[in-house]
Amino acid sequence: MKSIFSKLLLLISSLIFAVVVTELVLSMFLGRFNSYYPWKPNMLVELNPAQEYLPGIYGKSVFQTNSYGLRGDEIPTGESFKILAIGGSTTECLYLDQRETWTHLLQEKLKESDNWDNVWIGNSGKSGLSTRHYILQMKHLLAQIPDINRVIVLPGINDLSNLLSTGDPDIYKGKEEKDEHVALTAAFDVMPRYEEKKLPFFKRTRIWFLLTKAKFLIAGWNDIQNNVGSQLKSQREFRQNAKIYIDELPVMDSAISLYKERLNIMVDEVQKKGSKIIFLTQPSLWKDGMKEEVEKLLWFGWMGGKWGSDEYYSIKALIKGLENYNKALLEVCRERNVDCVDLASDIPKDTSVFYDDVHFNEGGARQVADILEDYFLPSSPPIL
- Return the pLDDT at 191: 80
Q: What is the mean pLDDT of residues 45-70?
A: 95
Q: To the nearest 10°, report the CA torsion of 130, 354, 58, 53.
A: 80
Q: What is the mean pLDDT of residues 340-361?
A: 98
| Whether 74 contacts 162, CB under 8 Å | no
Q: How confident is the model at residue 240 (pLDDT cuts 50, 70, 90)?
A: very high
Q: How confident is the model at residue 227 (pLDDT cuts 50, 70, 90)?
A: confident
- Return the pLDDT at 221: 42
Decide if pLDDT at 27 tops 60: no
Q: What is the mean pLDDT of residues 7-25?
A: 68
Candidate from 240-249, 283-292, 374-383 with smallest mean pLDDT: 374-383
- Return the pLDDT at 127: 94
Class of residue 178 by CB neighbours under 10 A (exposed 0-12, middle 13-18, buried 19+): exposed
Q: Residue 295, Cβ neighbours under 10 Å: how many?
A: 15
Q: How confident is the model at residue 224 (pLDDT cuts 50, 70, 90)?
A: very low
Q: How confident is the model at residue 384 (pLDDT cuts 50, 70, 90)?
A: very low
Select from 87, 160, 88 the least CA-distant residue to 322.
160
Q: How confident is the model at residue 79 (pLDDT cuts 50, 70, 90)?
A: confident
Instruction: Return the CA Rg of the chain.
Output: 22
Higher pLDDT, 202 or 131: 131
Q: What is the mean pLDDT of residues 313-321?
A: 98
Global pTM reads 0.85
| Whether 149 contacts 83, CB under 8 Å | yes
- Return the pLDDT at 16: 72
What is d(CA 342, CA 354) in angstroms, rounded to the nearest whole number? 17
Q: How confident is the model at residue 217 (pLDDT cuts 50, 70, 90)?
A: very low
- Return the pLDDT at 228: 86
Q: What is the mean pLDDT of residues 362-380?
A: 91
> HSE on the CB side for 31, CA within 13 Å?
4
What is d(CA 61, CA 46) in angstroms, rounded to the nearest whole number? 6
- Return the pLDDT at 35: 87
- Return the pLDDT at 178: 52
Q: What is the mean pLDDT of residues 278-282?
A: 98
Q: How confident is the model at residue 216 (pLDDT cuts 50, 70, 90)?
A: very low
Q: Residue 1, Cβ neighbours under 10 Å: how many?
A: 5
Candidate from 139-148, 178-187, 220-229 with smallest mean pLDDT: 220-229
Candidate from 176-180, 259-263, 326-330, 345-349 with smallest mean pLDDT: 176-180
